[in-house]
Structures are given as C-alpha cells and as structure tokens.
Amino acid sequence: PADPPAKPTSEKKGQEKPKAPVDTSAKPADGKKSPVSDPSKPKDEKEQEASKVTADTPANPKEQESRSPDLRFVALSKIIPLPGTYVKDEPRKDYSGLIADIKKNGLQKPIILRKSEKEGEFQLVDGFHRCKALEQAGMLEVRADVYEMTLAQASEYRRGHRDKPLMPVPGKLVPYPPEEPAKADKAPEPPAGKELEDEELPKDLKIPLTKEGQPETVTTMKVANIRPFEGHPFAVRDNKDMWDLVDSIKKFGVLEPVMVIPHKDGGYEMVSGHRRMRACQLAGIEDIPVIVRNLDRDEAIISMVDSNLKREEISPMEKARAYQMKTDAMKRKMGRRTKEEIAQDEAMGIKRMNADEELAQQVGESPATIQRYKTLNKLVPELQDMVDEGKIPVNTGADIAQMKPAEQKVLADAIQKEAKVPSGTKAKELKAESKAGKLTTEKIEQAVAPTKREEMPPLKVTMLEEDLRPFFPDKRTTIPDVKQGILEGLKLRQIALERQKAKAVTAKKADTPVR
C-alpha cells in the first residue's frame, strides 16, 4: 500500500521554529534600491519617510513618460493653420475612437509644427485630426515637434507626405528643452506673518492658455451683437458651399469658434468667421462660440487677412484688396520700431525684409506678384469686375491699372461695345502712351477694334456622316454631291425667306390707311 501523505511541517509542533517575516520594502519588485529604514528612528518618522517616497513616485509610468521634461508640449490655442496651402481638412463626424485610443495609450506620434514668424505662435503642418480630438477631449496641450522651415518647404511636405508617409520632414528641428536661465540662490521670502501655501484649484478647472500680451476669452455670444469687419475685402456668398456649411452647422454645430474684437461703439467686430456667422443666420441659430481678443487695428487686419487667405476660392480682386490691407498694416507696425532697434540692426548687419517681401514669403508667391495684385486696386470698378469675371488677365489688368481713371473708363466702354479685351501687348502700349501723355480716345478704341479676320471670319463647317446620311441615303453619294445638295438647299431657303419678307412688306402697305 502507498505511504500516507506527509503532513505539512508547520503542523509538527516543536520540530522547527517559524521563520521571521521578510522585509519586502527593502527589495522592490523592479530590482531598484530603496532607502533602508533606520532602526534608530521612531516608528512615526519611518512612516513619514516611506510616504514621502511613495508620493514622489508617479503611480502611472506612462503618465510620467508623457510629461517627460525632454518632450515639448504646445498649447492648442497657440497653433494656427498653415497659410497659403490649399489642402482642405474636414473635421470627422466622430472622434470618440481616436480620443479613447489617446486616453489609453497616449499620443503615439507628435504633431509637426512650423515655427511662425510671430513669436509664440506655431503653424500646423501635420496632425489636424489629433488636434481636433484633443480639443474635443478637453485637452489644452499637445505633444509636438517644432521645425524651422520655409513656408514653401512646409507646404510641399504638407501636400506630399500623405502619399509618401516616409517623406522626411524638411528644415531644422528646434531643440527642446531650451537652456534655462540661472536660478536665484534664494527663493523670495514670504511677507512677515504669512506662510507660503499652495492654492488648491478644482480638478475640472480649465484655464485657456493665451498669447503673451493678448488676453483671450472663450465664450458664447449672440450673433446679433457681432458686426462685420470694417473694410472686409472678402465676399460672403450664399452659394452651394454656404448651404453645405449651413447643413453641417445644423448637424454638428460650429466646430471652430469665430474670432472677434471689442468695437469702440459697443458690441463686437468680426475678425475671422464671417461665413460661419452668415451660416448661423441662415440656419436660424442665435448663439455662436467666439474667441474674444484685444488686438489693435493693425493686428486685427493682419489676423483677418491671414485667416481668410486659407479659403479655397479667392477672386483676384479679393486677393488684391487683402494684400493691400495687410502690407499697409505691416508697414505701419514696422514704422513703430525705435531708433535704437534700427541702429542695432544696422550695427549687426541685419537687413529686414520689406512688407511685400515678407508677405510673399508667407503666401509662397514672388514680391513682383504681390505688387501686381496690389496694382489692380487702381482699376475703375467696371474693369475690376472684368478681372473677377476672368475677362481680363491679372497681368493685363495690372498694366491697364496704370492708365488714368478717365482713360480706363473709355477703355471699359470700348470693351463693352466690341466685346473684346486688349491683348497683353496692346495693354503695355496703352500704359506707355498714357505715361507719355499721348493716349487718345481713338488709340484706345483701336486697341479693341476687331481685325479684318475677325470682321470676316472664314466659314468652315464640319458635319458628321450620321447627320448627313438621312438626306443622302444612296451609298454611292460622293462629297461633291453632298456639297452641291447642301448649297441647293440653302439657295431654296434663301428664296423662301425673301418671299416671306416681300409678303410682310405688302401686308404692311395694305394696312396703312389712305389719306
């Protein structure tokens, strides 16, 4: 028979002494050394020391990694769209899946930002949907890599990386963290009789991060209390795109707040969001989310133009007026530089760009193109309309704009009469004659007068066999036979028209009373 199972040692009394309990606190699971307790210290001091170690160690290692001081976090309020790149990003209907993934695993890939020319501002190159998801989740910051790159480089990467995911990011990565200033030896002492205390804030409190020197408020406002921007150069049209926006706002609301500034006469003035405001009016929505900013007039103009230049469809004259407004504002701001600043630049050999050059770099065009568009503002209204309708090219319009207003009006009348626009060569000739003071009405009319070929254009008709075959069923019919048949038919039609005309004249004479 099998031996009976041995009884546990612990049940055998007097054979073995129980072992002393092992101090597991001295040997953590991860193998790292932890402070050894001092037996000489009282028990309450040991507990305080242990609780201090526990409090200093984050409970969640992923959270510790995501907030590492070696990673850059940028406030969402400091991120603006990349200007001059017409790659349309539409918000998704539902970000719940992306939000849940970010909350569970963190942001796996940082967004890509371009360091803006404006201090403290960043332009979004890659990461639109991640930013939208974080906004909906109530986050204020996003992990980002910031690059120093030209606007052209950023635009090219933004257009190309979607088809080529391995496309390298251009430019130079801005290092992080920056060098910290030397800390003071001693912290400031609290006022006499008072102790420094950490003020406890509610956990659900969200403080919007703002740009330095620009107080910002996010709130909801009545649409009726907002007036359009004074001198707004962009038309707001009730077209198909507008009605699509109306439907979107009815379903999902206004996803991106509009930007307003306080108006001197009370109420608020729209800076960015005229189309969203109009869509709310058409949808019967009275309230709209807004960002209120305290900007001076020139800052407001620059912000208004930048936000509207992102539109996919901008007419030439809208662009002309916008470029003029922005460069004027930029010049006024440049003119406010002190003599010390100018002298410092000269001493360091720094040559700053003028307004046209800076705007050209921002929108990805040449300074000459910027100047050409701005010149269109000198056209009389009739000719400006022709530019927007595509009848007059931008280059031709820029030459015509340098003629005197009275000469332009004569040209506009001649174009309407002859339904013809002067060629680029003719426009340059008119500009030269105007500057020399030799331009006459006759020369202007000759510039759009039809040529002999236009007055008597050659008649050429092409007809398909399938159109002619019903009238010439015989397969042996030749091309000369077809021509002869068509001419005979036209001759008979001409005779019939002459007979009808003669009958009409006779009938008119018969109706005339005899005096």
How far is Cα 388 from Cα 391, in angstroms, rounded to an integer? 8
Per CATH, the number for 63-173 is 3.90.1530.10
Amino acid 333: pLDDT: 82
pLDDT digits (tens, 9 = 90+) for 159-178: 787 777 788 898 889 887 76
Please tell me which residue, 117 or 231, carries the higher pLDDT value. Answer: 231
Distances, alpha carbon 152 to alpha carbons 87, 244, 316, in Å = 14, 31, 21
Task: Reply yes or no on whether the pLDDT at 152 is more than 90.
Answer: no
In the predicted model, is pLDDT for residue 29 greater than 90?
no
Give tens-digit pLDDT for 197-229: 433 434 443 334 344 444 455 789 999 999 999
User: How much is the pLDDT for 55?
Assistant: 38
Assess contact for 226 and 277: CB atoms under 8 A. Answer: yes
Residue 9 pLDDT > 50: no
Over residues 315-325, the pLDDT tens digits come to 999 999 999 99
Record: fold of 213-312: 3.90.1530
> What is the tens place of the pLDDT at every residue in 375-426?
999 999 999 999 999 999 999 999 999 999 999 999 999 999 888 899 999 9
Residue 355 has pLDDT above 80, yes or no: yes
Q: How many of the other CB atoms lie within 10 Å of CB of 346?
A: 10
**pLDDT tens digit string along 357-382?**
999 999 999 999 999 999 999 999 99
* CA 356/CA 366 separation, integer angstroms: 9
Give the pLDDT mean for 445-457: 74
Edge-first strand listing for the sheet containing 287-293: 216-222, 287-293, 258-262, 268-272, 226-227
